[in-house]
Amino acid sequence: MTSSQALQRHSADSGTLARLTSRLGPWPRFLLKRAASLFVVLAMLLALTFLLIHLAPGDPAVRKAGIDASAEQIEFERKALGLDQPLPIQFIRYVQGVARLDFGTSFITKQSVTEILQQRFPRTFQLAGTGLLIVMTVSVPLGILVGALTREGRNRRLEVAFMSLTSTSSALPEFLTATFLAFIFAVTLNWLPVGTTQKSTAIILPAISVSLRPVASLARVVRLETLNVLAQDYIRTARSKRLPTYVIFTRHLLPNVLTAALTIGGLVFAGLLGGTVIVENVFAWPGLGQRVVDAVFNLDYPVIQGIVLYFGVIVVLINTAVDILLALVDPRTLVLSE
Amino acid sequence: MSRAPAYSDVQAPIYLAFWRTPFFRAFLSSPSGFLALFLAGILFATALLAPLALTKEEVYQRNVRRRLEGPSADHILGTDNLGRDILKRTLYATPLSLQLALSAAGMAIVIGFAAGAVTAYLPGRLRNVALRLIEIMLAFPGILIAIMLVAVVGTSAEGAVLAIGIAFSPSLARVAYTLAAGVAGLDYIASARVLGLSSRRIVARYIIPNIAETLIVVSLNATAAALVAVSSLSFLGLGVQGTQFDWGRLITEGVLRLYQVPLLALAPATAIGITGLTLGYLGEALARGLNPTLWTQTASVQSRSWLQRYFSSETMLLSGSALLLIAFYFLPWFSPDALDPNRTLVTGAAILAGRANLTETAIGSQVALLLLRTGAWIALLLGFLSYFSLRFRRLCAYLGLICGFGAGSYFVSILLADSTNLGAALASARLGFYLGLIATILLIAQVFSDKSATTRGSHNVIHPTSQASVVEADMSLPRPLLQVRGLTVRFDLESGAIAPVNDINLDLAEGEIVGVVGESGSGKSLTALALAQLVPHPGIVSAHYVRLRGEDITRMSAGQLRYFLGSEMAMIFQDPMSSLNPALKIGTQLTEAPRVHRRLSGKDLHRLALDRMADVHISAAERRLRQYPHEFSGGMRQRAMIAMGLMNSPSLIIADEPTTALDVTIQAQIIDVLREINQEQGTTIMLISHDIGVIVEICSRVLVMYAGRIVEDVKVTDLLTTDKHPYTEALIAAVPAFDSNRDEPLASIPGRPPDLDNLPAGCAFAPRCKYVFERCHREAPPLLHVEETHRIACFLRTEPPAEATRE
Ligand code: SF4
């Protein structure tokens, strides 16, 4: 099979990095590489967010000082922001600031960005976390169930229904889902509240809106993987051993399917985070997404920088975590990832 | 057009009219293609006509006296907070929304495809860096990148387009890279290069056609995504500015007033939804049209008339019930304001319970509305279910009737509510309700007493057939372990039914090793799977009986079967690598069966596993049990498979080509292991192979299969001496040096292997048989005894024709 071929090919491989690290075990080597790529990506993130303020039209100092500020005031702000320094120095200052968790202060509200992050992040986390929970608990069982029912071309109708349902719902943008859901459950039926965070049920609609799209796409992946695994010879072997169906599903199918789900888990989570930005604005959910849109509106650069960086770091960390988790679950990826 | 008459009566396949090309037929072969064209037409027309038909005044003129109104004759969907017509504004926003989406998608496509193609042709190291970059960008939420970019380029329609165009390009770049890298590696490109074609021609003639399908579909998807993303930005206030408005911006206004005028948000939201669907359908249909492998599949669909296709009951019911639901959802806004749509259910129930304390005006309508609402919901639900089951289809049809009653009485009651005849309004509503109730009861009673719609034979279960008479046990084997009569596997395909395994009768004695030989497609593997009840869907297995140790497994319940076969029968498959689960340790895979069937665990189980590993000569078993399959060599894996089969001490092992995937020296070892097991443990083995050499080496008896039937059943010792079936003769002749050298490629048997779709009338082997005579074309030869231990299905051997004997 391909994995064993890859294994052999790898052992014959003598790339520079492989030679350098060949004395290490697979795990340290793997972690080292992950750490290296984590570092590179973080550096890129820093550079990008730093450039943001310089690429943007207009003078940040003017924005900070206000439109009717005097020349001295603007000059003062320019100094305060460090804009009078050469670019490399500015960048170093920026990185130093980030390392101290100091992202500057908002131009508009004069609040420190760190404080904003502290205030807003728990809300976003709550929303994204609940969304992720929904995604995992719905799409994996759904995908496996539909996969099992439609294996070997059974239940064509179910397959068609599933495909059209998932393609429709994965094409529905979050703000539409949110609008429709709010209309049905909040306005028409009056079952659930919107526009508040006071009630514990208030999270239901935002969380569903955020998770619908990922649920649909993940369920499709899980179904495909289920079909794929069910067609494998080793499933036939398991059946020839007359194992009860639940054993076949939990022991032989589930690990493989979960691995597949995990592989795109990073992307799904990124999509989920993107969704929260929109949904927070529909439901007036006071998280980072709502704040970043406000900031863009007002060209409040430090806040944009801080929030984008924050989101970026989360995405990168999650992806790294997924990679490590994958390697734990399936040791073959340790070697294959190189 | 002027040329048309010239070709109209000529059957020239080259000049197919556009709508007759396979492309177009495949495009339209499912309702999605039809819908795609229809919806795309409407969208296009709206985009073109809306700015012409609607004056700026109509769209922008404020009318504060008529703000936030519900639907009325003047304003079909009501008015917004400034008294402007919602429908008109939604339509008016179409061209801008589409234009923004198309430009953003166009930009993403141009940037992405260019970047991807360039990446594919970069030298190795640089390419890896570029790929990694693309991948990193992909990991970030696109909308977040877009929002950040908007901050740089400024909040405007152009800014949003630019931001989305850039943010979306990485995913397109990756698709383009994959395609370009795949195409560049193809052989015919290389040969075109060798032929000296210019790069431009290579791209135009070879590359573009090959990737066109994917590119088109991906581009359409990107457009749909761009539409969503641009509207998202507009919705957030980061896109279209000033007096301009697109759908996203309309939704922003609507969401603020969702409680007052839901349509303000729902109308543009629906517009986005419809456009997204259109693009999705278009992509789906185009992919179908552009993929030649799907053309033939659709041919079978074509055989139904287009009316049947589009108006099949399920499509009708699905769309019908969806329409019903939508209609009834919006109906309340068209109706007298006495109705409170939110309370229908509650008040309805209260009225029925006689506890209502309402003004009489409302009562009649409330009851009717309750009926309608619940009816519509149930109809929708059943509509979905009806898609899967006939039973629900009927239920749904009747429910449609009920809803009809309901709707009728509803309108009557509305009419009467306006006049002052309240009693009549109430009566009509009640009438509708009771009629509906009676209909429901009748219908439920009828549907659930109608069993014919639901009884269906379950597949994959061996059940005795009634057609042919049971062939009695006609082989006097010492102690029969397995007796099979009339085993048949049928596949009902669209082209007709085929039987790759056809009426197999065989007996296996205890302790025997019997070979089954035949070309691929002779049905030998399927016979094994049928015996083990593992035939893949949609195969249908039938048999008079299959007795293992005297017990007929065709009459066992699923639970009995699992236990019985789990301990009495084991299977070994061809490819040990794919047959072992790569993610589980060998030990786990070895022990799971006895854990289930014999309830063994702990030390006993471990010792058993070690014993079995020793039986198949795997050394260091303790350590080996903790390893994964990929740490084993090929031969070792097959031994582990055999050890796994032995775990429950089965009386029968079915080995399906156990040596084919292995090299010759390993083959011999595996054969030795099998022989040893047979000798030491007395296990009966059924060895399936296309290689008669392997079979001769180890088996005592051989069954020769051809086109799904056993054509010969003979002792291996007689194989070289007696008269044989002509096919067996050919098989043996095809082995170069019969018992020594199996390295050499097999000489093949002249003629083509049988085509199960299209078997000849008489003897299936007749087209390839060198002894064929007249009778062979008329009748199929039965499998008959020529000696006590020798059965042949050939007229030449069983009832030789006069001339043949004379010769
Ligand atoms: S029955 Fe006739 S055609 Fe068939 S194998 Fe015998 S001789 Fe050949």
- Give tens-digit pLDDT for B38-65: 888 888 888 888 878 777 777 777 777 7
Q: What CA–CA distance (Å, rounded) separates B140 from B163?
A: 14
What is the pLDDT, as a whole number, of residue B182? Answer: 72
**What residue in A sits closest to B222 (Cα-Cα)?**
A171
Q: Which CATH superfamily is domain B480-702 in?
A: P-loop containing nucleotide triphosphate hydrolases (3.40.50.300)
Chain A nearest-CA distance from B762, in A, is 33
Q: Is B796 in the pocket of ligand 1 (CB under 6 A)?
A: yes
Q: Is B793 in the pocket of ligand 1 (CB under 6 A)?
A: no
Chain A nearest-CA distance from B660, in A, is 15
The H-or-E segment that residue B483 falls in is strand B480-493
Q: Is B707 in the pocket of ligand 1 (CB under 6 A)?
A: no
Q: What CA–CA distance (Å, rounded) separates B501 from B484?
A: 13
At B452, the pLDDT band (50, 70, 90 cuts) reads very low
Tell me, rounded to whole angstroms, the distance of Cα B323 from its chain centroid.
28
Alpha-carbon Rg for chain A, nearest whole angstrom, is 25
**Res. B271: pLDDT tops 80:** yes
Q: What's the B505 CA to ligand 1 centre distance in angstroms?
A: 20
Please report the atom of ligand 1 found closest to the CA of residue B781.
1
Q: What is the mean pLDDT of chain A?
A: 80
What is the pLDDT, as a whole number, of residue B346? Answer: 47
What is the pLDDT, as a whole number, of residue B703? Answer: 93
C-beta atoms of A168 and B142 within 8 A? no
Chain A residues touching residue B258 (CB < 8 angstroms): 179, 182-183, 186-187
At A138, the pLDDT band (50, 70, 90 cuts) reads very high
Select the residue of A233, A308, A332 nearest B573 (Cβ to Cβ): A233
State mean pLDDT over A259-272.
82
Tell me, rounded to whole angstroms, the distance of Cα A108 from its chain centroid.
29
Residue B259, SS3 per DSSP: coil
Q: Is B780 in the pocket of ligand 1 (CB under 6 A)?
A: no
Following DSSP, what letter does each residue of A160-195 receive, concatenated?
HHHHHHHHHHHHS-HHHHHHHHIIIIIIIS--S--S
What is the pLDDT, as a whole number, of residue B462? Answer: 34
Q: What's the first-to-final CA gap in chain B, in angstroms?
A: 72
ipTM of the complex, rounded to two decimals:
0.82
Q: Is B776 in the pocket of ligand 1 (CB under 6 A)?
A: yes
pTM over 0.80: no
**Worst-scoring range by mean pLDDT, A58-67, A142-151, B19-28, B758-767?**
B19-28
At B687, the pLDDT band (50, 70, 90 cuts) reads very high
C-beta atoms of A278 and B251 within 8 A? no
What is the pLDDT, as a whole number, of residue B343? Answer: 46
Give A105's DSSP letter: B
Q: pLDDT for B145-192, tens place per residue? A: 888 888 888 788 888 899 999 988 988 888 888 887 776 666 556 666
Those residues whose C-beta lies under 8 Å from the C-beta of residue B530, and which sit 6 or more positions away, are B462, B487, B489, B501, B539, B541, B543
At B260, the pLDDT band (50, 70, 90 cuts) reads confident
**Worst-scoring range by mean pLDDT, A195-209, B458-472, B634-648?**
B458-472
Q: What percent of chain B has pLDDT over 70?
A: 66
Conformational region of residue B154, where left means phi above 0, alpha means psi within -120 to 50, and beta covers everything else: left
Chain A nearest-CA distance from B208, in A, is 27
Select the residue of A241, A273, A281 nearest B236 (Cβ to Cβ): A281
Those residues whose C-beta lies under 8 Å from the C-beta of residue B755, and which sit 6 or more positions away, are none
What is the pLDDT, as a whole number, of residue B654? Answer: 93
Instruction: Give the CB-side neighbour count of residue B207, counting CA atoms within 13 A.
Output: 23
Tell me, rounded to whole angstroms, the distance of Cα B207 from its chain centroid.
30
Helix axes A265-282, A288-297, angle to 10 degrees: 70
Those residues whose C-beta lies under 8 Å from the C-beta of residue A201, and which sit 6 or more positions away, are A192, A193
**Res. B653: pLDDT tops 90:** yes
Please report the atom of ligand 1 found closest to the CA of residue B776.
2
Please report the atom of ligand 1 found closest to the CA of residue B766.
3
C-beta atoms of A256 and B583 within 8 A? yes
State mean pLDDT over B370-399.
57
What is the pLDDT, as a whole number, of residue B7? Answer: 37
State mean pLDDT over B410-427.
53
Chain B residues touching residue A151 (CB < 8 angstroms): 537
Q: What's the B726 CA to ligand 1 centre distance in angstroms?
A: 7
Q: What CA–CA distance (Å, rounded) separates B80 from B257?
A: 9
Q: What's the B721 CA to ligand 1 centre distance in angstroms?
A: 19
**Worst-scoring range by mean pLDDT, A287-296, A322-331, B243-252, B297-306?**
B297-306
What is the pLDDT, as a whole number, of residue B425? Answer: 52
Following DSSP, what letter does each residue of B160-212 receive, concatenated?
HHHHHHHHHHHHHHHHHHHHHHHHHT-HHHHHHHHTT--HHHHIIIIIHHHHH
Q: Is B772 in the pocket of ligand 1 (CB under 6 A)?
A: yes
Q: pLDDT for B709-747, tens place per residue? A: 999 999 988 887 878 888 988 888 877 654 444 454 445
**Res. B685: pLDDT tops 90:** yes
B326 interface with A at CB cutoff 8 Å: no
Q: What distances in angstroms separate CA B357 from CA B40, B363, B413, B432, one per listed residue?
A: 51, 9, 19, 22
Select the residue of A242, A255, A301 nearest B562 (Cβ to Cβ): A242
Select the residue of B140, B142, B277 nearest A168 (Cβ to Cβ): B277
Q: What's the B662 CA to ligand 1 centre distance in angstroms?
A: 35
Nearest to B609 by CA among B583, B646, B572, B562: B646
Chain B nearest-CA distance from A100, in A, is 23
Specify whether the CB–CB gap between B693 and B739 falls below 8 A. yes
Q: What's the B502 CA to ligand 1 centre distance in angstroms?
A: 17
Q: What's the B514 CA to ligand 1 centre distance in angstroms?
A: 24
C-beta atoms of A153 and B565 within 8 A? no
Q: What CA–CA distance (Å, rounded) separates B101 from B224?
A: 8
B346 interface with A at CB cutoff 8 Å: no
Residue nearest to atom 6 of ligand 1 (CA): B794
The H-or-E segment that residue B528 falls in is helix B524-531
Q: Is B766 in the pocket of ligand 1 (CB under 6 A)?
A: yes
C-beta atoms of A293 and B143 within 8 A? no
What is the pLDDT, as a whole number, of residue B366? Answer: 57
Following DSSP, what letter does each residue of B73-140 receive, concatenated?
SSSTT-B-TTS-BHHHHHHHTHHHHHHHHHHHHHHHHHHHHHHHHHHHHS-HHHHHHHHHHHHHHHHS
What is the pLDDT, as a whole number, of residue A134? Answer: 92
C-beta atoms of A242 and B565 within 8 A? yes
Where do the structural domains in chain B lie, given as residue ranges? 32-93+245-303, 97-243, 316-458, 480-702, 717-806
Q: What CA–CA distance (Å, rounded) separates B400 from B436?
A: 10
What is the pLDDT, as a whole number, of residue B739? Answer: 47
C-beta atoms of A240 and B276 within 8 A? no
C-beta atoms of B273 and A157 within 8 A? no
Chain A residues touching residue B579 (CB < 8 angstroms): 233-234, 236-237
Q: What distances in angstroms separate CA B331 from CA A188, A227, B340, B414, one per listed residue?
A: 13, 44, 12, 12
Q: Is B795 in the pocket of ligand 1 (CB under 6 A)?
A: yes
Nearest to A180 by CA among B331, B235, B269, B326: B269
Quickly tell me which residue has 């790339």 as its tokens.
A15
Those residues whose C-beta lies under 8 Å from the C-beta of residue B277, and which sit 6 or more positions away, are A168, A171, B35, B39
C-beta atoms of A56 and B151 within 8 A? yes
Q: What is the mean pLDDT of chain B?
A: 74
Specify whether the CB–CB gap between A244 and A167 falls below 8 A. no
**Worst-scoring range by mean pLDDT, A34-48, B234-248, B362-376, B620-634?**
B362-376
C-beta atoms of B254 and A179 within 8 A? yes
At B468, the pLDDT band (50, 70, 90 cuts) reads very low
What is the pLDDT, as a whole number, of residue B8? Answer: 37
User: In this structure, what is the dihedral angle of CA atoms A10, A15, A17, A19, given to the nearest 10 degrees?
Assistant: 80
Amino acid at B684: T
Chain B residues touching residue A180 (CB < 8 angstroms): 266, 269
Q: Which fold has domain B97-243?
A: MetI-like fold (1.10.3720)
User: In this structure, what is the dihedral angle of CA atoms B349, B354, B360, B361, given to the nearest 10 degrees?
Assistant: 20
Specify whether the CB–CB gap between B711 and B778 falls below 8 A. no
Q: What distances in angstroms separate CA B580 from CA A234, A240, B353, B630, B658, one per listed residue?
A: 5, 12, 64, 9, 13
